[in-house]
Amino acid sequence: MSSDTLTSTEYIKHHLQNLAWGQHPDGTWGFAHTAAEAKEMGFMAIHVDTMFWSISLGLLFLYFFRKVAKNAQSGVPGGLQNFVEMIVEFVDTSVRGSFSAKNDLVAPLALTVFVWIFLMNFMDLIPVDWIPGLAAASGIHFMKVVPSTDPNATFGMALSVFALMLFYSIKIKGIGGFTGELTLQPFQSKNALVQAIFIPINFLLEFVSLIAKPVSLSLRLFGNMYAGEMIFILIALMFSGGLAMGVFGGLLQLGWAIFHILIVTLQAFIFMTLTIVYMDMAHSEH
């Protein structure tokens, strides 16, 4: 949708609004046609665009990596195989450097997290009006194409990692060992009475630290990608300000896109690295 037909505020709000599907106040189900309707649907509304793009990019990742795996050859690799092998080797090196235990799930998990988040972040480099414009021409009111700018997606991934962390913490250390980690450190005493006093203090500190992991993991990715998307939207507004502003906006867009490639990759790498570190913590006994 062009900024020529909207005010600046309406243009920004339109590009930041997800395509929501849920129950209307009258009891019927369907898509929200305005931001107010989406708000009325409440927490249980589904962001269809986030679901569509994240699942599509996940399937794209699986298709190409499976294709390379099936056609892999021991001789001189082709371009696609060489590219995939570079990514796998990079992730494998990261896992070996940060994960000290043995778990065959961690490396595939790290690879999936890195590539999937990179692909979702990379959608931010597509000009902001292209896909929403095609969607509007097809009668679709809203279309956000960067799933990682939706906190529902980032929290979903972070909570999945957190669930695995809790699972392996209990599996490796047992209920008693995991409970001991939350209640018997950092403050300790040989005096039983003093130690009993320390238990609620330790639990409060460790519980806050535990909950902070998925919160920081999700908000870090969401915040950086949301800010990047906002800058692209603000630059796009300049194209409706005349020839001079349009040329200046084009230069800004090019410069920000080049810089944003680093952000796109770095945020995927940070999420992957923290996932490996959290899994290592789950396997380590204090």
The catalytic position among 103, 152, 220, 240 is 220
Active site includes 160? no
The values of phi and psi at residue 236, to 5°, are: -60, -30
Active site includes 224? yes
Cα–Cα distance between 94 and 197 in angstroms, integer? 41
What is the longest distance spanned by two Cα atoms in the chain?
77
| CA angle (29, 30, 34) in 5-degree steps | 125
Active site includes 220? yes
Cα–Cα distance between 19 and 71 in angstroms, integer? 38
From edge to edge, which strands make up the β-sheet containing 20-23?
29-31, 20-23, 46-47
The catalytic position among 2, 71, 82, 216 is 216
Best CA proximity match to 226, nearest among 16, 60, 35: 16
Question: Would the CA dihedral through 137, 139, 141, 143 be positive or negative?
Answer: negative
> Catalytic positions, please?
216, 220, 224
